[in-house]
Amino acid sequence: MEGIRYPKENTLYKKKEYTQIGQSKPRIDGVSKATGAGKYCGDLKFPNMLYGKMLTSPHAHAKILSIDTSAAEKIPGVIKVITHKDVPSLKYGISPARWDENVLCIDKVRFVGDKVAAVACVDEETCYKALKAIKVEYEVLPAVLNYRTAMNEDMPQIHDEYPRNINTEIHQLFGDVDKALEEAYHVRTDVFEGQRTYQCPIEPHSAISIWKDNKLTVYSSTQSVHYFQYYIAREFGLKMGDVRVIRPLVGGGFGGKLEPTGLEFNGAVLSKLTGRPVKMFYDRAEMFAHNRGRHQGHYEITTGVTKEGKILAAKANFVLDGGAYTSLGIATAYYAGGLLPLTYDFENYQFDLMRMYTNLPACGAQRGHGAPQPKYAFESHLDNVARDLGIDPIEIRKRNARQPNTNTCNGMGIQSCHLTEALEKIETITDWKAKKEKGLPKGRGIGMATGSFVTGAGYPIYRNDYPSSSCMVRVNEDGTSATLYANAIDIGQGSDTVLCQMTAEAMGYRYENMKIVTGDTETAPLDFGAYSSRQTAYCGWACKRAGEEIKAKILETAGFMMHLPPEDLECEEGIIFSKSRPKVEPITFEEAAKKYFIIKGPLVGTGVYTVPRLGGYHKGAPVATSPSYSFCTQAAEVQVDEETGEVDVIHAWDVHDAGQIINPALMKGQVHGAFGMGISETIMEEVVFNKDGKIINPDVGGYRIITALDMPDFTNDLIPSNDEPATPWGLKEIGEGSNNPTMGAVRNAIYDAIGVNVASLPLSYEKVWRAIKEKKEKEQAAK
Amino acid sequence: MYLPDFDYYVPASVAEACQLLAENIDCAKVISGGTDLLPKMKHGLLSPQILVSIKKIPGLRKIEYVQGKGVVIGAASTINDIVFSEVVQQKYPSVSNAAHTMAANQVRHSGTVGGNLVSAVPSADMPPILMALNATATIEGPNGQRQLPVEDVFCGPSKCLLEKSEIITEIIIPDQAMTGSTYFKFALRRAGALAVVGVAAAVQVENETIKDARVALGAVAPVPMRAKKTEEFLIGKKISDELLEEAGKIAAAECKPITDFRASEEYRRDLVRIYTKRALCKAIDQGHV
Ligand SMILES: Cc1cc2nc3c(=O)[nH]c(=O)nc-3n(C[C@H](O)[C@H](O)[C@H](O)COP(=O)(O)OP(=O)(O)OC[C@H]3O[C@@H](n4cnc5c(N)ncnc54)[C@H](O)[C@@H]3O)c2cc1C
């Protein structure tokens, strides 16, 4: 058979390394994406398709007095105009206690960009004419734009149900913090400030809804077809089986495409009312207005330490700016403090948080969900503590580093953990000791930080008892290919590729012969999708199990064909051979698969994975639980221009404890990309509002993301391991932990360079300039 | 973000272009590379019904040295034409380098020098170095041709002293007595960022003394501005670190920056101080770089 490689000498019974995983196989979607042949949602067109757009609020906070659509309806080419009267009034959001968002606003708008009306027209241009012709009368209300004062008694109330604009309040206490702080040798408190950033994926959100014969089909650029299916069905009172959600190629999500938007809900209504497919999409400015990016926050950290720098107790007191709606922010809030006890081992921990409503766009989940800014605060604080005590920053981290097979004080169980080795390695590869002893040139500094993240959230995003992931593999009748059906969502991170590698490994097959069908609720079985860095581990388990089922079936058939017991057979890279009798002629996977089909019918394997119950019993215990955690250390060397404040990151290092690597090239892409995103958020990115709550930089010119030219030289290193029992092949997440340490590492490097603390993100050139200036002025005054 | 309808004309000569503009005086606009105009139209800031492209007019895209005139840059030359021009690289690498600080490669490929001047953005990257080298613009309209120093082209943010029926056809960098020139752009990332401060300096150095100096600043006033007090201060003085330091301070005092979301007034002023000093130093030491 063509393409099949028979071994000349039979060396197959020797123990081999993995053949499909651990290799940099080319991306399964690489060619179609690189050549532009691949189709994203915005590329799709259907016969008779209409274009839809939403009218949004120009005010941050206002009562809607009236909406007059009559003029818009008269414009030729306008097919339908809808307001809140035409859509379900059922609110949606992340959890029943926080369903606070309407498909279209009913009596009030709560941020500039809130959804007021929607139109469906024959073309895009007519949509804009129609939007202009809709007359909305508002009574402008005073707006809450500052999250720090949002809880004040005299502030206007944004949602009737939430007094003093408090969206979420968290108070967790583990151990005896007060006692530990009393007994501590040194207690220090620092305050840091984070900024609002936005995911800004390259592909804008879009959705095409087709409501026909009581069935609703939605094509959407989503991170989770299941979550969309569930929420869309719920909103319209449809059976889940009558809602089909399909994900064409997705050009990045970073957390911002995890929840359904007005595009899906309004598109569905417009399609139902017109009987035609309706395409809706955001342009770049509308994406910014919809937002759901990273929360900005105020982070107060206190620790009490021994003379040697061992942390006895930690206190985290945070306030987050949640924006006008909950979005996924309640999870963000719990993550903000929940993940802090991961990298360092301390017994006593207090975590208090307020997530505030403001009249600004809602914040949600962004890469590292809730963790990066608090981690920045903690890592900056820890460097301050080390300086107070005269301990080297790496040394203090070693003294507190999380060890394998331990539990955190807030109820998380860690099995595999190589943080100590990662600390040792970063010390070596950065030449840390020499740099610290000999000192660096003027304006040069080096800093580091640690990070960690969940390999999949321990609990699903909405309450249900479904398994976490499932999949199905069907081998083609003649055995020359196998198709994986899974609803794991490839948003660019490469899950389609690694899942095919893992399936092929488990089957004893070849990656090159794999096909994949993903992101379609009607053809592939349930998976909750791409968030919390869960896809490779969770769907990986399902793929491994489905693959192993196929392998068992095929070996049984091969046993018949080869007159050997199946237990004596093994299958690797599509070759089936006897383990004990090297002289027996091997047969191919293809031959056995074909025979199976002839005798038994379709050769199918299925796999399922359910996360075991994890975590403690306190309120909020589920968030931050995971079967497994990645760990990493990062260092950055910066050169600061002491006159202008310009920060140049010269080199950065990352040492990852990510378990078994499935695809080294994709791993590097993730670490590299996450570090780039991290550094961009550290130095440049910030969503800026004017005094009326309108974003003044809703475009990629004003909202600065680093370019390739700004990316420093980067060393990507690993602590190789495969001792994590909770994941398939001992892998760990790689997608989100990688930007967990970045902000702290860069901040610490800047401090090392110029000896000043810039306590708010982004660490912009101007802030660094100002800090240097103030330091000089102080020194002069002291003279 | 939707481009409104418009008619598109591609005249074959300057005269024809000017005539088209004159006939449609209130609704026509010149389009060159379109990198400034089209985004404005998409944002609904401008809605000309007629666009007159000058890209196909012969001669508007050449860069050459003309004896007695200087380096002549056709107004429709792209920014990358200037970056890669052998003539420019040979005579004034400082101009080629300044062009290279602009935007990113894609924009440099279509954006033109004429458009960079006429868009009259305070932070534009070409004006400061052209002003420092005393360049002039040749302007043609229905009533003939005139010359205007580049620094006199601007009269306010997005405003030029051009009639609606006029076009810039070329920019001329005259032969120089200046011995060195350079442009520093301070931006908040390495590509695709507008200048927070732009400083160009040209100097004529003889016997360790500054015989002549021109300093032009971008992004710190409603239009690109000459730092005339700084120039006056420098001329005739012996070069020293203190002199350049002081020059920086004078430039910082005479510029008129505003605070926006990119930078505060205070920061911009200090950057003018720092970069005036650095630009002078570089132009004195290294020639036209
Ligand atoms: C992403 C991006 C980044 C940018 N970054 C920078 C930057 O870093 N620095 C910078 O300086 N600029 C920048 N720009 C602005 C712009 O690209 C430049 O100003 C460019 O040189 C404009 O030239 P153009 O040919 O595209 O002008 P056009 O858009 O074609 O025209 C601009 C204006 O000039 C008029 N016009 C053009 N040519 C003539 C002429 N010969 N005679 C009379 N009127 C004329 C037009 O009518 C219009 O009003 C950027 C733009 C973009 C989109």
Give the CATH number for residue B48.
3.30.43.10
Mean of pLDDT values over A21-48: 97
- Do B192 and B162 fall into the same domain? no
Does A534 score more than 60 pLDDT? Answer: yes
Interchain CB distance below 8 Å, A128 and B264: no
Is residue A10 in some structural domain? no
β-sheet bridge partners, residue A351 = A172, A316
- Do B78 and B139 fall into the same domain? yes
- Contact B248 CB / ligand 1 (< 6 Å): no
Which pair of tokens denotes residue A112?
């500039």
Closest chain A C-alpha to B100 CA, distance in angstroms: 14
Instruction: Tell me what pLDDT residue B2 has.
Output: 84
- Do B140 and B199 fall into the same domain? no
Distance CA A3, CA A7 (A): 13
Instruction: Tell me what pLDDT residue A57 has.
Output: 98
* B78: confidence class by pLDDT, cuts 50, 70, 90: very high
- Contact B39 CB / ligand 1 (< 6 Å): yes
Determine how many CB atoms are found less than 10 A away from the CB of residue B177. 11
β-sheet bridge partners, residue B154 = B160
Is residue B2 in some structural domain? no
With both helix axes pointing from N to C terminus, report the angle between A589-600 and A540-562 in degrees, rounded to the nearest 10: 80
Please list every residue in chain A whose beta carbon sits closer than 8 Å to the beta carbon of residue B190: 707, 709-710
Is residue B89 in some structural domain? yes
Q: A174: helix, coil or strand?
A: strand
Q: Kindly report whether the peptide bond that precedes residue A7 is cis, defined as omega within 30 degrees of 0.
A: no
- Do A277 and A308 fall into the same domain? no
End-to-end CA distance of chain A: 87
What does the radius of gyration of chain A's CA atoms come to, in whole angstroms? 28
Is residue B266 in some structural domain? yes
- Do B109 and B153 fall into the same domain? yes
Partner residue opposite B188 with nearest CB, options A124, A709, A765 = A765
Is residue A289 in some structural domain? no
Distance CA A678, CA A728 (A): 28
Instruction: Tell me what pLDDT residue A591 has.
Output: 98
Which pair of tokens denotes residue A543?
């793929």
What CATH code is carried by the domain that includes residue B195? 3.30.390.50
- Do A630 and A745 fall into the same domain? yes
Distance CA B275, CA B202 (A): 13
Of B82 and A581, more confident: B82
Instruction: Tell me what pLDDT residue B11 has.
Output: 97
Q: Is B45 on the interface with A (CB under 8 A)?
A: no
Instruction: Tell me what pLDDT residue A51 has.
Output: 98
Of the residues A549, A576, A609, which one is the last residue of a structural domain? Answer: A609
Structural domain harbouring A93? 42-141+209-250+257-281
* DSSP at A98: G
What CATH code is carried by the domain that includes residue A743? 3.30.365.10
Going from the C-alpha of A647 to that of each of A195, A642, A687, A691, A707, the distances in angstroms are: 18, 9, 20, 29, 15
- Do A345 and A431 fall into the same domain? yes
Q: Which of A704, A763, A767, A776 to mutate to test the interface with B (most CBs of B within 10 A)?
A: A704
Instruction: Tell me what pLDDT residue A16 has.
Output: 58
Please give the residue of chain A at the shortest CA–CA distance from B103.
Answer: A701
Using an 8 Å Cβ cutoff, are B116 and B126 in contact?
yes
Of the residues A609, A624, A656, which one is the last residue of a structural domain? Answer: A609
Please list every residue in chain B whose beta carbon sits closer than 8 Å to the beta carbon of residue A766: 263-264, 267
Structural domain tally of chain B? 3
- Do A124 and A222 fall into the same domain? yes
Instruction: Tell me what pLDDT residue A731 has.
Output: 97
Is residue A551 in some structural domain? yes
Is residue B208 in some structural domain? yes
- Do A656 and A777 fall into the same domain? yes
β-sheet bridge partners, residue A62 = A109, A140
Interchain CB distance below 8 Å, A769 and B267: yes
* DSSP at A530: S
Q: A718: helix, coil or strand?
A: strand
- Do A312 and A241 fall into the same domain? no
* A461: confidence class by pLDDT, cuts 50, 70, 90: confident
Closest chain A C-alpha to B27 CA, distance in angstroms: 21
* A17: confidence class by pLDDT, cuts 50, 70, 90: confident
Using an 8 Å Cβ cutoff, are A232 and A245 in contact?
yes
Per-residue model confidence as pLDDT tens digits over A615-671: 999 999 999 999 999 999 999 999 999 999 999 999 999 999 999 999 999 999 999
- Do B113 and B155 fall into the same domain? yes
Q: What is the DSSP string of chain B?
A: --PPP-EEE--SSHHHHHHHHHHTTTTEEEESS-TTHHHHHHTTS---SEEEE-TTSTTTT-EEEETTTEEEEETT-BHHHHHH-HHHHHH-HHHHHHHHTSS-HHHHHH-BHHHHHHTT-TT-SHHHHHHHTT-EEEEEETTEEEEEEGGGTEEETTEES--TT-EEEEEEE------EEEEEEE-SSSSS---SEEEEEEEEEETTEEEEEEEEEESSSSS-EE-HHHHHHHTTPBP-HHHHHHHHHHHHHH------SS--HHHHHHHHHHHHHHHHHHHHHHSB-
Determine how many CB atoms are found less than 10 A away from the CB of residue A697. 19
Using an 8 Å Cβ cutoff, are A228 and A222 in contact?
yes
Mean of pLDDT values over B14-35: 97
Mean of pLDDT values over B70-98: 98
- Min mean pLDDT across A278-282, A582-586, A598-602, B176-180 is at A582-586
Q: Which residues contact A310 (CB under 8 A, 6 or more apart)?
A: A399, A400
Of the residues B173, B190, B214, which one is the last residue of a structural domain? Answer: B173
Q: Is B187 on the interface with A (CB under 8 A)?
A: no
- Do A96 and A220 fall into the same domain? yes
Structural domain tally of chain A? 3
- Do B142 and B205 fall into the same domain? no
- Do B44 and B74 fall into the same domain? no
What CATH code is carried by the domain that includes residue B152? 3.30.465.10
Tell me, in angstroms, the distance from the centre of ligand 1 to residue B39's CA: 10
- Do A383 and A515 fall into the same domain? no
- Do B95 and B13 fall into the same domain? no
Instruction: Find, among A587, A503, A494, the residue nearest to A551 by Cα.
Output: A503
Q: Is A282 on the interface with B (CB under 8 A)?
A: no
Of the residues A583, A609, A635, which one is the last residue of a structural domain? Answer: A609
Mean of pLDDT values over A243-247: 98
- Do A493 and A596 fall into the same domain? yes
> In what helix (H) or strand (E) does residue A375 lie, and over which residues does it extend?
helix A372-389
* DSSP at A607: E
Mean of pLDDT values over A381-392: 98
Structural domain harbouring B263? 180-286
Per-residue model confidence as pLDDT tens digits over A291-302: 999 999 999 999
What CATH code is carried by the domain that includes residue A129? 3.90.1170.50
Tell me, in angstroms, the distance from the centre of ligand 1 to residue B34's CA: 6
- Contact B119 CB / ligand 1 (< 6 Å): yes
- Do B37 and B107 fall into the same domain? no
Q: Which of A765, A770, A776 to mutate to test the interface with B (most CBs of B within 10 A)?
A: A765
Is residue B1 in some structural domain? no
Q: Is B2 on the interface with A (CB under 8 A)?
A: yes
Q: What is the DSSP string of A429-471?
A: HTTHHHHHHH---TTEEEEEEEEEEESS-SS-SSS--S-SEEE
- Do A360 and A502 fall into the same domain? no
Interchain CB distance below 8 Å, B264 and A706: no
Is residue A51 in some structural domain? yes
Does B206 score more than 80 pLDDT? Answer: yes
- Do B116 and B216 fall into the same domain? no
Is residue A628 in some structural domain? yes
pTM of the model: 0.95
Q: Is B194 on the interface with A (CB under 8 A)?
A: yes
Per-residue model confidence as pLDDT tens digits over A703-749: 999 999 999 999 999 999 999 999 999 999 999 999 999 999 999 99
- Do A100 and A228 fall into the same domain? yes
Which pair of tokens denotes residue B219?
């992004």
* A12: confidence class by pLDDT, cuts 50, 70, 90: very low
Tell me, in angstroms, the distance from the centre of ligand 1 to residue B15's CA: 22
* A1: confidence class by pLDDT, cuts 50, 70, 90: very low
Average pLDDT over all residues of chain A: 96
Q: Is B190 on the interface with A (CB under 8 A)?
A: yes
Q: A450 — phi, psi (to 5°)?
A: -110, 165
- Contact B32 CB / ligand 1 (< 6 Å): yes
Instruction: Tell me what pLDDT residue A76 has.
Output: 98
- Do B49 and B67 fall into the same domain? no
Determine how many CB atoms are found less than 10 A away from the CB of residue B139. 21
Query: Which atom of ligand 1 lies at the shortest distance from residue B60's CA?
Result: 41
Distance CA A41, CA A215 (A): 20
- Contact B244 CB / ligand 1 (< 6 Å): no
* ipTM rounded to 2 decimals: 0.96
Q: Is B195 on the interface with A (CB under 8 A)?
A: no
Instruction: Tell me what pLDDT residue A7 has.
Output: 46
Q: A173: helix, coil or strand?
A: strand
* A277: confidence class by pLDDT, cuts 50, 70, 90: very high
Is residue B58 in some structural domain? no
Of the residues B118, B146, B173, which one is the last residue of a structural domain? Answer: B173
Per-residue model confidence as pLDDT tens digits over A584-626: 999 999 999 999 999 999 999 999 999 999 999 999 999 999 9
* A94: confidence class by pLDDT, cuts 50, 70, 90: confident
Is residue A654 in some structural domain? yes
Using an 8 Å Cβ cutoff, are A284 and A698 in contact?
yes
Instruction: Tell me what pLDDT residue A97 has.
Output: 84
Does A430 score more than 50 pLDDT? Answer: yes
Q: A86: helix, coil or strand?
A: helix
Interchain CB distance below 8 Å, A707 and B264: no
Is residue A13 in some structural domain? no
Is residue A633 in some structural domain? yes
Ligand 1 pocket: which of B8, B29, B30, B36 to mutate (most atoms <8 Å of CB)?
B36
Going from the C-alpha of A567 to that of each of A580, A586, A745, B232, the distances in angstroms are: 10, 15, 52, 94
- Do A360 and A425 fall into the same domain? yes
Instruction: Tell me what pLDDT residue A15 has.
Output: 52
Per-residue model confidence as pLDDT tens digits over B242-270: 999 999 999 999 999 999 999 999 999 99
- Do B167 and B184 fall into the same domain? no
Does B161 score more than 50 pLDDT? Answer: yes
Determine how many CB atoms are found less than 10 A away from the CB of residue B41. 19
Interchain CB distance below 8 Å, B263 and A704: no
